[in-house]
Structures are given as C-alpha cells and as structure tokens.
Amino acid sequence: MTTTTTSLTNNQHLLKWVNDMAAMCEPDNVLWLDGSDAENKRMVEEALAKKVFLPLNAKKHPGCYLHRSNPNDVARVEHLTFICSRNKEDAGTTNHWMAPEEAYAKLKPLYKASMKGRTMYVIPYVMGPLGSVHSKVGIELTDSVYVALNMRLMTRMGKAALEFLGDKNDFNRGLHCTGDVNPERRYICHFPEDNTIWSFGSGYGGNALLGKKCLALRIGSYLGRTEGWMAEHMLILGVENPKGETFYVAAAFPSACGKTNFAMMVPPKAFAGWKIYTVGDDIAWLRVGEDGRLWAVNPENGYFGVAPGTNYSTNPNAMHCVDKDSIFTNVAVTEDGTVWWEGMDGEVPEALTDWQGRPWKKGSTEKAAHPNSRFTAPAKNNPVLSKHVDDPKGVPISALIFGGRRSNTAPLVLESFNWAHGVFMGATLGSETTAAATGQVGVVRRDPMAMLPFCGYNVGDYWQHWLDMQSKLKNPPRIFQVNWFRKNTDGKFLWPGYGENMRVLKWILERCQGKCDATETLFGWVPKEGQLELEGLAISPEAMREVTSICLKEWKTELESQKAFFESIGPRMPKTLELIRQQLLSLLS
C-alpha cells in the first residue's frame, strides 16, 4: 500500500501522471518535495542513515557530504542513451534510436514494482530563472535520495516550481529509477514528442539528474528547434573591462574540456581592473531578443563540476564554491576527513581512502579519485556569480566560442569569417574523448558544437537550425574557435591555460567591439603579431609560435576527415556546410 504526503498541487495532469507512475513502480511512499530547509535536513539524515552520504570533516567542509557511486556507474553512458522519436530519421545518425513504443515496452517491466520498499520522491523543478519566458518546468520522480539532494542544488525546485507550473500540462515528465545499477539493464531514453524522459539503472550525474543533460539539452534542443530558440552545451560569462563595461560570451567545449574553469577564471595580474562573472558553467538557453541580439540564460542553479585538476591556483573560485553545502562524488578522503583528488594543491598525502573506499598509499599507480569525480555546489557559493543569473531576460551575447581538446591542428584562437563559417567551425569541432563518458579516453572524435552526446534530434536539422538563426539576428554575435590543449612533441601543454585564457578572451572582445584588426589566414582571422596581451606571461616565443601555428598538412587531413563525418549525417546534411568544406579544401590543393 503506497502512502502519499500532501501533494502540494491541484494540477490534475500532474496528479494523474504521478499516480500512474506510482502504480507502475509501487513505492512504499510517495514524497512530494517542497524545497524547504527542514526537508533538506531530513533527507540528509536519511542519506547518512542509508550510507548514501558519508560524513566529512564538518569543520573543514560544513554541510558537505561524500557519495561513492557503484564503480560500474561513474559517467554518462552514451551507448545506452536513446532518442525515441517516432521516426528514426528524426533522431539522426549521431544518436542511438529506439521506437517509442518499443522503448516503453522494454522499460515498463523494469519499472514494474521497482520501487517496492523504497520512497518515490516527487521533485518539481524549474530550469531557468523563475518568471522567465525562457524557463521550463520538469517533474522528476526518483527513488534516489542522492538524486533528490543533487537536484536541490542544481535546479530551482520545490513549491516555487509548482507555483510556476500552475495548472498547465506542459511539464517534462521524468521518471528515474536506480534499479540494481546493472549496466545490462541501464537505459536513458528520451521521448521528445512526449516531453518525457525514462532513465533506469544508473544513479550518476547526467544519467540521473534529469534536469541537466536530458531536459536542458536533449529535450531542450528539440523544443528549441520547434519554438525557435537554442539549447547549447555552453558556459556563459560576463567580462568587465577597466572602464566598467560588461560584455557576455557563451562558449561550447566538450565534456571535461574547460567550461567550468573558463566560466569562473581569475584574470592574471597584468589584467588589473578586468573582472569575470559567472552566469553559467555548462548549459545556455539562447533566444533572439527584441533588439536582434542573442540573449542567454543559464537553466541551472548549481555546478556539477569535474574535481580532478581543480585547485586554488587553477580555479580558486570553484574551490570557494565547495567550501560548504556541497556534495562530493567519487573523490578520495584524507585521514582527517577532508576531500582530495589528483591535481589538488600541496603535497600528495601519504595515505588516503580512495574513491572506492579502499586504502591508498602515495606512489600508487591507481588514481585515488575517479577521473570523473565531481562536486555539486550551489551557484550562490560562487564568489564571482553574475548579478544577472536570476534575470528573467538573461544577458546579451557578444561572442560565441567553440573549443575542443586537440593536441595538434587547432590553433589557440581563430575568428570565423561570417556566421555560416562560424557554424561550420562548430559543426566540425574535433576533440579528444575524456572520462566524462564511459569508453576510451584520448581519441579524437567530431563533437559538433560539443553537442554530439546531447543533441535531441537529427544533427543535420540542428545545423540547419543554427544556419537559419542568422536571419533572425539583426546583431549576431561573432563566432570564434579556441584550443587550450595543444601539446609540444614531449606531450606537454604549450599554453598555460586557466586564468591566462583571459588573454585570448580580451582579443575576442576587442574584435567584437571592432577595436583591432586581425591577420587573415585560410581558416579564419588570427591576432596580429603583438595583439595578444602577453605581459607577465612566461611563455617562450617558440611555444607561442607553435600554439598559434596552422600546419597546412594537418588541416588537409582535418578537412578530409570532416568529409566522412558530413557524409555520415545523411540526407538532412545542410549543403552550405559541405560547400564551405570543399571551398577550404580547394584552397589547399
């Protein structure tokens, strides 16, 4: 017999759906979350009692807890992620597809009675600022207290979301069940035409926090195309110059390729008077404003950030974000109960407990923290949070930036010749794979607009949507491409990265303001000699030359490999992009 707390709403569509799902999953309790502090306290206690949360040193990490996920469940699973559109063609060749009726039929038996002995949490949440036309409501039903506590940090949830929804029926229906965390029975299914997400068998990040990649990107991109806006895997930042003028940029880098770091970077000493403000670190929803500019909101309310590599010199603001009230997933712990990961400041401790709870000794060949270990922190902890994060109209975007992780080929920065060429740059973005998804790490793959795993419809249609946006934008942002990850022949990064990326950002902004001219190359505009501000930067002239160099032989290979990718897209491939490719290639032959 299922018991239900007061449902907090009279929305009949919502009540019926929750009842239907509860009838299928058969939880012992259905608990509607109101988002209050008292409720959070109860849930933390429950998580501690169930050992879903492990305590940390309360003095050093007030309000913070450690979670260890099942070792088979530590990253997104792209091969088990499906777009279940009615027509296969609408999912396109870059997505895994399952017919909706087949997916529902396959998953229903898995959900059947799957929550017996457990609680079904009903999480009403809003993606985007409350009261914004940009924003969307989702309801996630989950049997995971960890997911519920993460969603509390990552979204605007509880009563406010139900008020925002009122009696409308246009909410996203998200059903999540942890199941027995068996990779053989793990499915992340999206039904764009039903505004529905069914996730089974994983408790981790993007697989389970349904507001994030599932709603804000996969379903969001589909809604964006239908409704005339764009959902992108982009950070949003504000940059204030010494004159006190603030400009905003949005940048798409693939998973674990530097969005969080760029979004909250600290400019180097030589940049006195320059300030960076974070609007978002992972996702941007973009709309054309009445002024013909592109306006962005961050649908999220917290950060689910990569832990390894984060420290007080690379990203002090992220370190402050996790000072309190944060959740750590799959990091290591020191003997005094503080968190640790590879790339943390200071000496490597002699002894640790690793991410799987095993003893770990300094010098071990195994990583103490999982390479995709993460922190979940509320945005309000960010010392450089933009005052516009809750602004319903968002912020106006001056530049869009695409960046991959490339040891070679891609130079530090390139500016596109025009919108279509910029779309081409995004569409052909290549990047070496990372630990953010299961599978081999370090292989170059095409990751168009950093959306390969997140585009909820045919990527050919997605590119056409990008191309079509131009005609709606009286004042389009300029489009750039960057690469922080070029390596020398010894395999060392040539560019110091992190806060020093401010130097590239400054050039980008000056280009947007028409303040400086640039050198034309075959593949885009690059800074003129002396235009990149290098004061106070210890980089050799050779390294600088190498990191900005364009090797025609490498570019020929690049353009040729793009051909196969474009051909694989099929009949919905926009001709414009293939023509740009051919034109660039013809300049090389």
Minimum distance from residue 327 beta carbon to ligand SPV (Å): 13
Per DSSP, the residues of 548-562 read: H---HHHHHHHHHHH
Task: Count the residues of the shown chain that bind Mn ion, applying the rule CB under 5 A.
Answer: 2
Residue 125 is a binding residue for ligand SPV (CB under 6 A) = no
Q: x/- site string to ligand GTP, residues 276 to 295, per CB under 6 A? A: -----xx-------------
Residues 436-465 that bind ligand GTP (CB under 6 A): 436
Which residue among 107, 123, 436, 502 contacts ligand SPV (CB under 6 A)? Answer: 436
Residue 498 binding: pick among ligand SPV, Mn ion, ligand GTP, none (C-beta 5-8 Å cut-off by kind): ligand GTP
Q: How far apart are CA 533 and CA 244, in angstroms?
A: 19
Q: How far apart are CA 492 and CA 486, in angstroms?
A: 8
Which residue among 63, 289, 439, 497 contacts ligand GTP (CB under 6 A)? Answer: 497
Residue 76 is a binding residue for ligand SPV (CB under 6 A) = yes
- Residue 147 CA from chain centroid, whole number: 17
Give residues with Cβ within 8 angstroms of 34, minimum separation 6.
Answer: 8, 158, 159
| Segment interacting with Mn ion, rule: CB under 5 A, options 73-81, 154-162, 274-282, 503-511 | 274-282
Residue 214 annotated as catalytic: no
Q: Per the structure block, which two tokens stand in for 126?
A: 């809003």
Smallest CA-to-CA distance from 22 within 3, 39, 47 is with: 3
As beta bridge partners, residue 235 has: 251
Minimum distance from residue 439 beta carbon to Mn ion (Å): 16
Smallest CA-to-CA distance from 326 within 60, 524, 520 is with: 60
Strand 351-353 versus strand 359-361 pairing type: antiparallel
Torsion angles phi and psi, residue 273, rounded to 5: 90, -10
Residue 266 is a binding residue for ligand GTP (CB under 6 A) = no
| Segment interacting with ligand SPV, rule: CB under 6 A, options 21-29, 204-212, 234-242, 556-564 | 204-212
Per DSSP, the residues of 408-438 read: SSS-SEEE-SSHHHHHHHHHT-EEE--TTBS
Q: Which of 257, 321, 516, 551 is catalytic?
A: 257
Q: x/- site string to Mn ion, residues 47 to 86, per CB under 5 A? A: ----------------------------------------
Identify the residue whose tokens are 């990040």.
205
| Segment interacting with ligand GTP, rule: CB under 6 A, options 151-159, 474-482, 494-502, 521-529 | 494-502
Distance between first and last Cα of the chain: 73
Minimum distance from residue 202 beta carbon to ligand SPV (Å): 10
CB 457 within 8 A of CB 193: no
- Interface residue list for ligand GTP (CB under 6 A): 253, 255-261, 281-282, 305-306, 308-309, 314, 436, 484-485, 493, 497-498, 501
- Interface residue list for ligand SPV (CB under 6 A): 76, 205-206, 212-213, 255, 282, 304, 436
Name the residues annotated as catalytic. 257
